Structure 1
Amino acid sequence: MKFSENWLRQHVKTDATREQLAATLTAIGLEVEDITPLGEALDGVVVARIVSAEKHPEADRLQVCQVDAGGQTLQIVCGAPNARAGLIAPLATIGTTVGALTIKAAKLRGVESNGMLCSARELGIDADAAGLLELPADAPVGAPLAQYLGLPDATLELKLTPNRADCFSVRGIAFDVAAAFGSGVVELDAAPVVAESSARLAVTLDAGADAPRYLGRVIEGVDATRPTPVWMAERLRRSGIRPVSFLVDVTQYVMLELGQPMHAFDRDLLTGPVGVRRARKGETLTLLDGREVTLDEQFLAVTDADRVVALAGVMGGLDTRVTDGTRSVFLESAHFAPDAIIGRSRRLGLHTEAAHRFERGVDPGLPRTAIEYATRLILDVAGGRPGPVVAAEVDEYLARPRTIALRRARMARVLGLHIADAEVERILRALGLEVASDAEGWQVTAPTRRFDLAIEEDLIEEVVRIHGYDRVPTTLPGGATRIAAPSETRIAEAELRRQMVARDCLETVNFAFVDAALLGAWQVDAGSVPLANPLSTELGVMRTALLPGLVASLGRNLARQQDRVRLFEIGKVFARAGADKAAPVETLRVAAAVSGDARVEQWGDSSRPVDYFDLKGDLEALAALAGARLTFQRSDAPHGHPGRSADVCRDGVRVGWVGELHPRLRRALDLDVPVVAFELNASALQERPLPRVAALSKFPSVRRDLAIVAPEAVAWAALESTVRAAAGPLLAEVVLFDRYAGQGVESGFRSLAMGLILQELSRTLTDRDVDSVVADVVAALAREHGAKIRG
């Protein structure tokens, strides 16, 4: 929000200096981002009229001007391109300091010059340096310029938080300033204007809660050619808005002063009735900036006899705009719900002051005050005969002032200090709230402009920010703290992180939203959740998996000459299950992606590229924290390399995937080297059984090694499961320690060597016990998988 300091001081009287005002605004939560002083030293600068302008005899770009400075005529040599007879412009007289220059009598190419005609930039009141500052034709010649333009002044720019929509107006800010300085807000003169004609247009509403209030008034006989008063034009300029024409400027002025966006239509271009409804798909509108836009049901339209003439809350239409030829004007002042306006202007590539305010919320009680105030301004400058205000309202959708209980005890407990009752009441009343005392505190009624005040804590915040955060004492927290012991049945995320770091991986943190095309390339876009207001098209949906973003990070590292990259991430993924309107399901997952050599380059071991088994080992080490035994099954995931990837299961339930990326996917991602990765539900690695005490066997274990020949198509996981089932309770562990395929082994088969470690808690095993177990294992392998002892 950008505004004039002098304008603010007209609404709230205070003796505070500019620096004190800015510091106080920031202290109460309205951060001052920038202060631009205007016209600080204009003593000696007067309003002057150029009587004549003739070409300089010795210079093509200079003119010799005779200038009326009010009671005296001065000769000025001027090089401004817009210098001409009849022009009224600022004149810096001899002895005046303009910027770093002190004006003196001088000769320019042999011609005397007794002053300087000035541009706005030279005077420090605007950035325009293209020519002389052109003043209105009725500017008083000879008057001090500072007095005429209301200088000195300053432009203040505030960085407002979204909840303070009431401060997108000078008057809204005035309430906070009044409360902070112990002053009061000057009463606004917005008395109803008596109708002088019966001219009217009917208004209708057909948008429900999106547009619950719409007011309109016809003013006949206006002179649209009247210039915008200099005081109004200057306030608009200092607020960052370029004056256009009086009827347009009035609506902008009221918006800046009161916070209510308005629009002016040429009445003679309307048929009536004027209404508000949802736009229909395919309807078009030519906006004020000349662009034609195509609308749909998401837009709110202002219509004339069902013809779209404006985009509600955003911008008016070109065909019904006011011009210098306008003789009757239809003023609009309406309340549109934020949900009906938010995001609509961005869809069209627009940013308007009206949309900026409606998106954050405008006081639903303000339209009538604004239309009366704007009517008075128009009548005072452009004349005319006002008709009655015609209103259409849907009462059930209009906000009502809410009453909130504020308790002394609660406020003291939250703030940790006592604030006197009189001070609390002063602050709340200065902010425009109604206050009634009761036994426990106060009943506070918030005006409709303060829709950010909903609960008791909101009122406490209002009191303390005006009272002063710096006056809140610094105290140590008291009371007992409750120590929550971590559960023994759950592994903390921090433990998973430490384990992955110990396995030589670096943690990454990626955006939770990604490009929909990236999820499509991975074929994991089912159930993806689109964002209603994405930061960009490349970040348009919530991620359904960690690996797309994680591998993208790996690719960026590879592109920067990092030959060995090992990354992991722990984060949430989001997907809808079932109906489109169902709430997204959040799932915590763990993922890793590695590429390059298996080990850091060294002299003691030859280098080799990382493979599936390396990362499978990392995954099993991670699962060992929870005592989880993972099994692996051949995977048909589209992003996995056939034969080099597996689905990961725990207790027979699929919990994730591990393997090498499919070459087709690598090409799509522009990855030139193999990438091995895994992604699992974190719960599968965090849940563990409650540890129980168990005695160690006093008796020795026995190991028997078996070498079997099994078909290539049979996975080791299936063979291991059969071994464990056949061996029974005597089997303490089974270890695969060799794999061989080649000469001496039939084609389509491979030799696997395993060690069976057997042990009994109550006795030493005999050869008969061991032979029986081995025989059962061999028989089960032959029966279920066609495996046999290698000869």
Structure 2
Amino acid sequence: MKFSEQWLRTWVNPALSSLELSEQLSMAGLEVDSMEPVAEAFNNVVVGEVLECWRHPEADKLQVTKVAIGTDEPAIIVCGAPNCRAGLKVAVATLGAVLPGDFKIKKAKLRGQESNGMLCSNAELGLNDDHDGIIELPSDAPVGMDYRAYLQLDDCTMDVDLTPNRADCLGVRGIAREVGVLNGLAVTEPSIEPVAVTSSSERAIQLLAPAACPRYLGRVIENVDCQARSPMWLTERLRRSGIRSIDPVVDVTNYVLLELGHPMHAFDHDQLHGAIQVRMATPSEKLTLLDGEQVTLQGDVLVIADEHQALAMAGIFGGEGSGVTAATRTIFLESAFFAPAAITGRARRFGLHTDASHRYERGVDPELQRLAMERASALILEICGGQAGPIVEAVAPEYLPQPKVVTLRAARLAKVLGIQVSAQVVEDIFQRLGFNVENTGSGWQVTVPTFRFDIAIEEDLIEEVARIYGYHRIEAAAPAAQLRMIPRHEAQLSASFFKRVLIDRGYQEAITYSFVDPKHQALLFDDTAALTLPFPISLEMSSMRVSLWPGLLSAVAYNQKRQQQSLSFCETGLRFIPDHNAENGVRQQPMLAGVRAGKAFAEHWQEGERAVDFYDIKGDVEALLAATGEGHLYRFVADQHPALHPGQSAAIFRADKRVGYVGAIHPQFEKRLGLNGRTFVFELEFNAIAKRSVPRAQAISKYPMIRRDLAIVVKQQIAAGEIIAAIENVGVNHLVDLNLFDVYQGPGVAEGQRSLALSLTLQRSDRTLEEQEINAAIAAVVEMLATEFGATLRE
């Protein structure tokens, strides 16, 4: 919100410098983003009057003027502006003046004609980019007066960066109200009286979408002169607020928007047909906007229409066909309250962001429409002339926001602020803010005015007391607290525990967005429905992730394009699975995932340049599972996943429950995902691995360990892991270690089979094992292997 400091001080003028006022507003929550002078430095520019004007004898495009500048003798000045004429009041840079850009005015000769100054345009004085002609001042401008003093250019533009909840301050009126409250000063508002109704012209209004627009006011003003010039005081206030003057009607609606914070719009009355209808657009309805662009509307867009067609996108942008032009003689002026929910997101959908939509999305005062109508009507009649018809109002009271009543407890106020604020001070703050307050003994019952959409709960009132009372007056004190041990289950593992395991193995933690590209996600998870965001940040971030893989793979592709050759990323986070039985229709599941790509090791003379393979990432997963102390409960089973290579993928099971996947990204997706070479991933359900077996101390056996080696021959397709798991489950007494130390295929072993050499280590803690116990244990293992796997001892 940009505004002129001088304009603000016509409403309320505290005894503060510009810097102090800026600091005060910022400390009250209205952060002043910048303060800039409204005009660049220049001097010796005065108000002049062109007394005579004749053509330069040596140049057709130049004129020689005699200009009164408040001295005894008028100045002779050569000018090339097309709008220079006798009787015009102008801005004159006299001899010795220094203009922006360190441009000095000296006596000169132009085509043989002496010139003693310069008639200035706005661009030459650094006020705007208008080079079309010299400045035309009002006829009552005092000749000889310093131009900076005449326009009060020793002013600054303040730019307040408002948070979305403070829509009430999107106008000078709201800012002035805050300054008045902060300084205990009365605010002097301009007198806004109803204009005299001098015409019977009016137009009917039909509210066909009352929930979206519960109040709409319209007024017909006849015989307006849209070619009239907006007064300089108005155009200057617009300029200092960052708005360009267009025509008097648009200037007035912009001025009311800045002054009261209420958007308005004017239609060419003669282009309208029948009653004004406030309705939702029909599907695929077309509308050509004021900038000439044609848009196709959806059924959730609120429009202002007549009985033939849509005229404007309500609260956002006007239509070209009904816009006010220089030829317009009768206007239809609108002032409406649109519900924020009916406007939010619509402007961005069409690539628009207007001052009106900015305010309506945040909320305007539902009681301000008539005041804004009267203010705009009075200014239009003053500048353009004409006759005003009666105000026609259509209202659906049941849909209008009602004043909220919020209770504030004195004890709660003291507890949150940490100080005692007297009841009198609290009540005075609320009254100055425009709230109705009633003391209930234990606190206050506060009726919130309609212009404060952001006050809804007790904490909102506490915030108001704090910021008006002054944060600097609240003593800084360290909070008192007791140190207590946080209850923690030793068996529960944290996400940071698993990340440390992976970081120790060369991984780097990544944090990716929960929003992913739906096209990439559909490649990897074609059979999984994903949640689509109604208002995404961008099209590439419009879908909620159903896995951590899309984000990690994007990170790999990004880094590979920047010549990173060895990549290992891990991440913990939520995935979002649509589930009608879950809260809000989505199941949020914590996951742990990782990805590896490129070289297995950094370039080294001894290691070579081996690429990452399936067993590298499988080893990382096994290390994670082993860290839980229950690695033996997990098993890897060859399985297929739509995102993974069918020959290099496995499901990870704990007992009979699948808890994750590991494998290589399917080659057909690598190029489409921007990946360079083979990429390996894993993903585990965090809650399924987050508990560990707590270590239990026991005495170390002092008796000898007995090792027996078995060489068995089995079919080639039988996995060694299945054999090891079977031996562990057979219940061999005193088995303390089991290891596969050799695999052999070749001469001496039949085709289609292989030899597996296993070492079994047995030990008792109370005595030395006897030979018959050892032989019985080994025999049990051999019998089980023969029965379940058809294994035979290798000769």
- State the partner residue of 2:237: 235
Residues 368 and 714 (structure 1), Cα distance of their counterparts in 2 relative to 1, 3 Å cut: farther
> Normalised by the size of structure 1, how large is the TM-score?
0.92
Residue identity opposite 1:718 in structure 2: E
- State the partner residue of 2:468: 466
Offset of residue 451 of structure 1: 1.0
SS in 2 for 1:571: strand
Residues 224 and 606 (structure 1), Cα distance of their counterparts in 2 relative to 1, 3 Å cut: closer
- State the partner residue of 1:112: 114
CA distance in 1 between partners of 2:280 and 2:53 (Å): 59
SS in 2 for 1:704: strand
| 727-736 or 5-14, which deviates more | 727-736
Offset of residue 647 of structure 1: 0.8
Offset of residue 311 of structure 1: 0.6
Unaligned runs of 5+ in 2: none
SS in 1 for 2:681: strand
- Does residue 622 of the first structure (1) align with residue 621 of the second (2)? no
**C-alpha contact (below 8 Å) 1:119/1:128 kept by paired residues:** no
- State the partner residue of 1:396: 398
CA distance in 2 between partners of 1:346 and 1:581 (Å): 30
- Does residue 638 of the first structure (1) align with residue 639 of the second (2)? no
Offset of residue 581 of structure 1: 10
1:707 equivalent among 697, 706, 711: 711
- 1:54-73 superposed matches below 5 A: 54-55=55-56, 57=58, 63-69=63-69, 73=74
- Does residue 365 of the first structure (1) align with residue 367 of the second (2)? yes
Offset of residue 781 of structure 1: 3.1
- 1:178-327 superposed matches below 5 A: 178-305=180-307, 307-327=309-329
Offset of residue 83 of structure 1: 5.2
CA distance in 2 between partners of 1:197 and 1:121 (Å): 42
- State the partner residue of 1:387: 389
- State the partner residue of 1:724: 728
**C-alpha contact (below 8 Å) 1:589/1:681 kept by paired residues:** yes
* Offset from partner CA, 1:159-186 (integer Å, 9 cap, x none): 1111111111111111111122221222
CA distance in 1 between partners of 2:295 and 2:620 (Å): 56
CA distance in 1 between partners of 2:674 and 2:777 (Å): 53
Residues 701 and 234 (structure 1), Cα distance of their counterparts in 2 relative to 1, 3 Å cut: same
- State the partner residue of 1:89: 90
| 503-512 or 707-716, which deviates more | 707-716
| 668-677 or 271-280, which deviates more | 668-677
Offset of residue 121 of structure 1: 3.7
Residues 425 and 775 (structure 1), Cα distance of their counterparts in 2 relative to 1, 3 Å cut: same
- State the partner residue of 2:8: 8
- State the partner residue of 1:350: 352
CA distance in 2 between partners of 1:697 and 1:267 (Å): 102
Residues 56 and 524 (structure 1), Cα distance of their counterparts in 2 relative to 1, 3 Å cut: farther
- State the partner residue of 1:20: 20
Offset of residue 578 of structure 1: 4.5
CA distance in 2 between partners of 1:354 and 1:741 (Å): 80
SS in 2 for 1:775: helix
Offset of residue 693 of structure 1: 5.6
| 575-584 or 765-774, which deviates more | 575-584
Offset of residue 335 of structure 1: 1.2
Residues 409 and 505 (structure 1), Cα distance of their counterparts in 2 relative to 1, 3 Å cut: same
* Offset from partner CA, 1:632-683 (integer Å, 9 cap, x none): 0112012222222211112321111112222222233343332222111122
Residues 634 and 315 (structure 1), Cα distance of their counterparts in 2 relative to 1, 3 Å cut: same
> Normalised by the size of structure 2, how large is the TM-score?
0.92
- Does residue 127 of the first structure (1) align with residue 128 of the second (2)? yes
| 644-653 or 67-76, which deviates more | 67-76
- State the partner residue of 1:483: 485
How many percent of aligned residue pairs carry the same amino acid? Answer: 44
Residues 662 and 66 (structure 1), Cα distance of their counterparts in 2 relative to 1, 3 Å cut: same
Residue identity opposite 2:499 in structure 1: R
* Offset from partner CA, 1:308-344 (integer Å, 9 cap, x none): 1111111111111222332322211111122211121
* Offset from partner CA, 1:392-442 (integer Å, 9 cap, x none): 222222111222223333222222223344443333333222233342343
SS in 1 for 2:381: helix
Offset of residue 353 of structure 1: 0.9
Residues 317 and 561 (structure 1), Cα distance of their counterparts in 2 relative to 1, 3 Å cut: closer
- State the partner residue of 2:688: 684
SS in 2 for 1:198: coil
| 112-121 or 230-239, which deviates more | 112-121
1:749 equivalent among 749, 753, 760: 753
* Offset from partner CA, 1:678-721 (integer Å, 9 cap, x none): 11112233122455565665654433322233333333343333
In the TM superposition, structure 1's runs of 4+ consecutive aligned residues that sit over 6 Å from their partners are none
**C-alpha contact (below 8 Å) 1:577/1:585 kept by paired residues:** yes
- State the partner residue of 1:739: 743
- State the partner residue of 2:33: 33
Offset of residue 582 of structure 1: 4.8
| 156-165 or 92-101, which deviates more | 92-101
Residues 754 and 519 (structure 1), Cα distance of their counterparts in 2 relative to 1, 3 Å cut: same
- State the partner residue of 2:664: 660
SS in 2 for 1:179: helix
- State the partner residue of 2:53: 52
SS in 1 for 2:610: coil
- State the partner residue of 1:788: 792
Superposition CA RMSD, Å: 2.9
Residues 193 and 698 (structure 1), Cα distance of their counterparts in 2 relative to 1, 3 Å cut: farther
Offset of residue 91 of structure 1: 0.9
**C-alpha contact (below 8 Å) 2:635/2:654 kept by paired residues:** yes
2:550 equivalent among 525, 548, 551: 548
| 436-445 or 631-640, which deviates more | 436-445
**C-alpha contact (below 8 Å) 2:49/2:87 kept by paired residues:** no
| 664-673 or 315-324, which deviates more | 664-673
- Does residue 591 of the first structure (1) align with residue 604 of the second (2)? no
CA distance in 2 between partners of 1:206 and 1:698 (Å): 92
- 1:526-565 superposed matches below 5 A: 526-565=528-567
Residue identity opposite 1:65 in structure 2: T
Residue identity opposite 2:504 in structure 1: A
CA distance in 1 between partners of 2:712 and 2:671 (Å): 40
CA distance in 2 between partners of 1:710 and 1:603 (Å): 40
| 391-400 or 780-789, which deviates more | 780-789
Residues 77 and 288 (structure 1), Cα distance of their counterparts in 2 relative to 1, 3 Å cut: same
Aligned pairs, number: 789
Residues 329 and 566 (structure 1), Cα distance of their counterparts in 2 relative to 1, 3 Å cut: same
* Offset from partner CA, 1:518-544 (integer Å, 9 cap, x none): 212323672322223322222222222
- State the partner residue of 2:495: 493
SS in 1 for 2:635: strand
Offset of residue 101 of structure 1: 5.1
SS in 2 for 1:120: coil
Residue identity opposite 2:644 in structure 1: G
| 754-763 or 205-214, which deviates more | 754-763
Offset of residue 565 of structure 1: 2.0
- State the partner residue of 2:154: 152
CA distance in 1 between partners of 2:752 and 2:342 (Å): 68
* Offset from partner CA, 1:128-150 (integer Å, 9 cap, x none): 26354432564636263345534
SS in 1 for 2:351: coil
* Offset from partner CA, 1:514-569 (integer Å, 9 cap, x none): 21122123236723222233222222222221122212222333333322222212
| 354-363 or 64-73, which deviates more | 64-73
Offset of residue 195 of structure 1: 3.5
SS in 2 for 1:209: coil
CA distance in 2 between partners of 1:613 and 1:455 (Å): 57
Offset of residue 755 of structure 1: 2.5
* Offset from partner CA, 1:702-745 (integer Å, 9 cap, x none): 33322233333333343333323334554444322223334444
